Structure 1
Amino acid sequence: MTGNERSRFLVILSAEPEQVPLASERIARQLSRKFGGATVMGGHDNAWLTGYWAEDGHAFKGEYEGNVHKESVFAVMLMVMPDEEARAYAEIQKAVRQAASDFGLNSRHIHVEVSAVRSRHFDLQGVTPD
């Protein structure tokens, strides 16, 4: 399949700031070996984000009474062909479980978004100015 359609996964998990560089790299490299590439959200020196979570945030409510916690998180993005979505989800779970075990991550509930997107690519060396 070579069309523009892709399934995009955005995986968000918590970690201590000092754990983020190695854990995010491990997950991204493992997924890249399976699917050709993955993206860690953030930069090399600032590879974490900040998450805010209500203690009762897992419930579907109009308003949340639980304490709101602030924690460092990181995100990994993976895009695959739609027919690879089930395999990609399984590989994401495997990579995250392994990183959590290897690095002692404080993650429990892993947020995974899946979106249907269209992807386009162009080669800067092949583009001619207008």
Structure 2
Amino acid sequence: MTGSERVRFWVIMSAEPSQIPAASEQIARQLSQAFGGATVLGGSEVSALTGYWAEDGQAFKDAYDGVVHKESVFAIMLMVVPEEEERAYSEIKTTVKKAVADFGLNSRHIHVDVSSVRARHFDVNDVGS
């Protein structure tokens, strides 16, 4: 059994609401086959999330004066053991690129948060009263 340390990826990307169920499912299934599981926000049973971004949002500034756009987005969370970080990031890029092509998504710049976390699990049937 491995320790509790994990690397958590949050992948946030834009899509038309009608595209989100199929695209998010494809990505989540492919990442689950590679790493054992993934979580979708804004997927098949959940309405789209809403993202806001300024046209000059890629710059590091004190304030942004670009037009603010609003779009539907979804997010995928993947957690892996630290030894799998680079393979996971590579797989995320490949899987997302394929979904963008397969579904004609309006995603180009994909936001990926990467953080170190500790994971704990328990079985509710084994928890004392």
Give TM class, smaller chain: over 0.9
Q: Confirm or deny: 8 A CA contact 2:13 2:107 kept in the other structure.
A: yes
Partner in structure 2 of residue 76 of structure 1: 76
Q: Percent identity?
A: 68
Q: Confirm or deny: 8 A CA contact 1:24 1:40 kept in the other structure.
A: yes
Distance across 2 between alignment mates of 1:71 and 1:107: 11
Query: What runs of 5+ residues in structure 1 fail to find an aligned partner?
Result: none
Q: Confirm or deny: 8 A CA contact 2:42 2:73 kept in the other structure.
A: no
Q: Confirm or deny: 8 A CA contact 1:52 1:70 kept in the other structure.
A: yes
Q: Confirm or deny: 8 A CA contact 2:12 2:111 kept in the other structure.
A: yes
Query: What runs of 5+ residues in structure 2 fail to find an aligned partner?
Result: none
CA RMSD of aligned residues (A): 1.1
What are the within-5 Å matches in structure 2 for residues 1-130 of structure 1? 2-42=2-42, 44-129=44-129
Larger mean Cα displacement after TM superposition, 19-28 or 34-43? 34-43
Aligned-residue offset at 1:44: 3.5
Larger mean Cα displacement after TM superposition, 46-55 or 88-97? 46-55
Report the secondary structure of 1:106's partner residue: coil
Distance across 1 between alignment mates of 2:120 and 2:4: 6
Q: Confirm or deny: 8 A CA contact 1:80 1:88 kept in the other structure.
A: yes
- The size of the alignment, in residue pairs, is 129
Distance across 1 between alignment mates of 2:13 and 2:44: 17
Q: Confirm or deny: 8 A CA contact 2:20 2:42 kept in the other structure.
A: no
Normalised by the length of structure 1, the TM-score is: 0.96
